[in-house]
Homo-oligomer: A and B are copies of this chain.
Amino acid sequence: MTIKPLADRVVIKMEEAEETTKSGIVLAGSAKEKPQVASIVAVGPGGMVDGNQIDMYVKVGDKVITSKYSGTEVKIDGEEYTIVRQSDILAVVE
């Protein structure tokens, strides 16, 4: 199944990031903090949203940071995704 987001929505997938502490220890699972970086897997077409024309400036593959608690979590084919508005994306990390 493929998810095609509507309007100004973007489908993201949280990264299963390993986190290396300053002392060099790699944390995994619940011992590490919840990652805040997600990958964009699908981008909506934009268009008129609440009376404003929205152009999409993020693209598939971007690593992004979103507002905490924003978006709706969905499970498709056993994989967990989050659907957010483009305006919930705070920054791109490179």
The verdict on A6 contacting chain B, using a C-beta distance below 8 Å, is yes
Instruction: State how many angstroms separate the Cβ of A34 from the closest Cβ of chain B.
Output: 10
Q: Is the CB of A94 within 8 A of B57?
A: no
Residue of B nearest to A4 (CB): B92
How many copies the complex holds: the figure is 7
Q: Is the CB of A78 within 8 A of B6?
A: no
Residues of A within 8 A of B (CB): 1-7, 9, 11, 21-22, 33, 36, 42, 44, 48-55, 57-58, 65, 67-68, 72, 74-76, 78, 83, 87, 89-94
A-B contact pairs, 29 of them (CB 8 A): A1-B93, A1-B94, A3-B65, A3-B91, A3-B93, A4-B91, A4-B92, A4-B93, A5-B91, A6-B58, A6-B90, A6-B91, A6-B92, A9-B91, A11-B91, A22-B78, A36-B74, A42-B91, A49-B87, A50-B52, A50-B87, A51-B52, A65-B83, A67-B72, A68-B72, A74-B90, A74-B91, A76-B93, A83-B91
